[in-house]
Amino acid sequence: MTTLSPPAQSKFGTVIRVTSGNFMEMFDFFLFGFYANYISQTFFPAGDAYASLMLTFMTFGAGFLMRPLGAILLGAYVDRVGRRQGLIVTLALMATGTMLIAFVPGYATIGYLAPFLVLTGRLLQGFSAGVELGGVSVYLSEMATPGRKGFYVSWQSASQQVAIIVAAALGYGLNQVLTPLQVGAWGWRIPFFVGCMIVPILFIIRRSLQETEEFKQRKHRPELKAIFQSMVSNWRLVVAGMMLVSFTTVSFYLITVYTPTFGKTVLKLSTSDSLIVTFCIGISNFIWLPIMGSLSDRIGRKPLLLCFSLLAILSTYPALSWLVHDASFQKMLTVELWLSFVYASYNGAMVVALTEVMPVDVRTVGFSLAYSLATAIFGGFTPAIATGLIEATGDSAAPGLWMTFAAICGLIATLILYRKGGAAPASIGDTKAASAVARSA
């Protein structure tokens, strides 16, 4: 008797289970950026506010330096042992890092041990996140129904937006209930405690995952040495993939993690205004990502990647210049929602494209390595680079130059990866075409 495809409800439940841990990974990352000012005062006191904030953002960025290592080691583990088991391991590592940041006393209590422990927590989170996004994306691509990979894979990024929405809502609520002094002294820790409390629930949800049929049917499981050799021989593909991701990761951290700091310290808007904007960005991203992922299934990945990287190049700096000229809540919301649309439209096609161009046997480690290198080199230090550019140039719109540069990298990568054949492989559902794109890179 022929086995029928799982019903839609089963697919929906699988998406929820696999992305639940991804929500947790991103929730903790965002919290660190949201409360950068308070974390800097608690763990990194310095002679001036700029130095203190830069130390905090450098610690935030340090977590991304661990991503390539996590991508290689944990990615190889996932490609050999399985998607399900690997996703459970990444969640455990992230939970450990979160507890360190939530419970470590401040610099005033334990001195230099405080920033050391916070840095350790960030490094653990970075090591875990190095493969989390890749593991989730590959799982979703392998369980997707034919012709709908873009739609299903887009929910990896969409789950991150739920994390933004929840984190921003918590932050807004705290600012309404507590005084700024209370938030700075201890209130900023509350969302981290909330994250710790939901970890057991996420473990239960993720443990119910089933291994993907595509992985179970695969007879060849490469050894670690073979995986390393494949990554070395495909280094051009990894570099091109890194450039493809660079625009996604820079724009994402600029419009989400950096927005509260930008609104408060640069535009001189209230914390509540900045958090409301961040909340709206999360909703906007959540809406546009699956729409554009689904559109990429219909028209191909390449048209969307080209169109929206060009739009970013042409519009980002002018939009931010218009915003900083006469800053207001309405103008900030308008600009950020435009950048959200550009980011989500590009990313809706980009993530699934990256799963398609990687060799099948090392799909997780290849995806994760390209993604983690992009976040380590480009995205993770975006808040620090944005802060440094403003300080060095005196131009409050200077972060737009960084996003424009990343968009140029994305445009070049798209032209490299799709220089033969013209159409994205998944747009015609041809796995052989995907392999051809990988070889051509």
Q: Could you read off the pLDDT of 3-62 as tens digits, one per residue?
A: 444 444 477 777 877 787 777 767 877 777 677 778 877 887 766 677 777 777 777 777
Helix (H), strand (E), coil (C) string for 172-229: HHHHHHCCHHHHHHCHHHHHHHHHHHHHHHHHHHHHCCCCCHHHHHCCCCCCHHHHHH
The answer to whether 20 touches 153, Cβ cutoff 8 Å, is no
The answer to whether 18 touches 24, Cβ cutoff 8 Å, is no
Integer angstrom CA distances of residue 45 from 50, 111, 261, 364: 11, 10, 17, 40
The pLDDT value given to residue 215: 61
Residue 108 to residue 112: CA distance in whole angstroms: 9
The more confident residue out of 141 and 82 is 141
With H, G, I as helix, E, B as strand and everything else as coil, classify residue 268. coil
The pLDDT value given to residue 81: 67
Phi, psi angle pair for 300, to nearest 5°: 100, 160
The pLDDT value given to residue 5: 44
Mean pLDDT of the chain: 81
The pLDDT value given to residue 426: 37
Banded pLDDT at 428 (limits 50, 70, 90): very low
pLDDT at position 439 over 90: no
Q: Kindly report the number of other CB atoms within 10 A of residue 221's CB atom.
A: 13
pLDDT in tens, 374-384: 988 888 788 88
Residue 87 to residue 435: CA distance in whole angstroms: 26
CATH of 16-440, one of 1.20.1250.20, 2.60.120.10, 2.60.40.10, 1.10.443.10: 1.20.1250.20
The pLDDT value given to residue 414: 95
pLDDT in tens, 64-76: 778 888 777 777 7
The pLDDT value given to residue 420: 60
The pLDDT value given to residue 204: 80
Q: 433-438 long-range contacts, Cβ below 8 Å, gap at least 24?
A: 434/356, 434/357, 435/359, 435/360, 437/356, 437/357, 438/234, 438/237, 438/357, 438/358, 438/359
The pLDDT value given to residue 48: 66
State pTM to two decimals. 0.77
pLDDT in tens, 267-301: 888 878 888 898 899 999 999 999 999 999 999 99
The more confident residue out of 253 and 217 is 253
**DSSP class of 426:** G
For residue 427, what are its two tokens?
A: 């747009």
Residue 302 to residue 346: CA distance in whole angstroms: 10
Task: Give the helix ranges, DSSP H, for 104-112.
Answer: 107-110
pLDDT in tens, 113-164: 888 888 888 888 888 877 777 777 877 887 788 888 889 888 888 888 888 8
Residue 421 to residue 389: CA distance in whole angstroms: 40
Integer angstrom CA distances of residue 125 from 66, 70, 89, 229: 8, 10, 12, 27
Among candidate residues 140, 212, 158, 160, the one with its CA nearest the CA of residue 356? 140
Q: Number of H helices and number of E strands within the chain?
A: 21, 0
Residue type at 171 in one-letter notation: G
The more confident residue out of 392 and 218 is 392
Q: Compute the half-sphere exposure of residue 326: CA atoms within 13 Å on the CB side of its CA.
A: 1
pLDDT in tens, 180-234: 888 888 888 898 888 888 888 877 877 776 666 666 666 666 666 766 777 777 7
Banded pLDDT at 103 (limits 50, 70, 90): confident
